[in-house]
Structure 1
Amino acid sequence: MTDFVFILYLVGLVLVTMFPLSFGPLFSGMNHPFEAYVQLVPFRSILEYLTDLNLHSCIQLFGNIFMLAPLAIYINAFYNWSFKKNLIFVCLFSFGIEFVQGTWDFFNHWPYKKVDIDDVFSNMTGYLLTLFFIPRIKKLYDKL
């Protein structure tokens, strides 16, 4: 049952991060500047979300923070990974998501899911916070 729930989570993760696919003017030859595809200035997006709080910015910010929390729970429930291994994994996993989004946009010539370094920071923050809280939640659960 646990594996089935985890597979559902992974399907949901793919749906949230990759879909809907934007075909825009597929291979129409439109060219956009590099900045339309990539945001590499640390904390720029996060500061924009915090200065213009609305439903969209809250979903973006908190969605990215909590998106990989179930992954942290699953991995650390079944594998005894060190903090370093968890850190490397979440970094590569999050960069992988951004890489796939950016690759699709680049080959499609349509900047839809912008590669954003702040998404990586937010994903990693949520994953690592979850690692921090797992032992504390276990202690509370064991006391019940």
Structure 2
Amino acid sequence: SGQLEASQEELNRRRDECIQLHSVLANQTKGLKSVASNNYSTHVDIINEDGELVLAFEAQKKINRQLEDELQAEKIRWKSEREDLQQEIERLKEDNDRQQKILSVNLTKSPQSQQEAFMQHEITRLTSEN
């Protein structure tokens, strides 16, 4: 369960990071537009005559897409890991229940019967592991 919580925290951290990056990009875009309109007003085309702004914007969009893809991949990986851990928890609960039943039965049996029950449990456990 601790590993599941750590995975969830990592996922939340990545999500927050992605949100922050989107915010930074939006602020940078506003800043560039503001600088362009303040400094060049009617001659905005001058600062973009060689297409640098378009290239920078496209590069930023590509980075954002990559970050979003990474975030989605992490979500899928954490979800799969969570399901695996939940299955392991269920298996351990079942094993625990089985052992408790054996223990309660063994408390009322003779030593010979206890040994036979233990051997049967071990055979069952080893069979289920393989």
Is this a same-fold pair by TM over 0.5? no
- Greater RCO, CA 8 A, separation 6+: 1
Q: TM-score, normalised by structure 1?
A: 0.29
Q: TM-score, normalised by structure 2?
A: 0.31
Higher helix share: 2
Greater radius of gyration (CA): 2
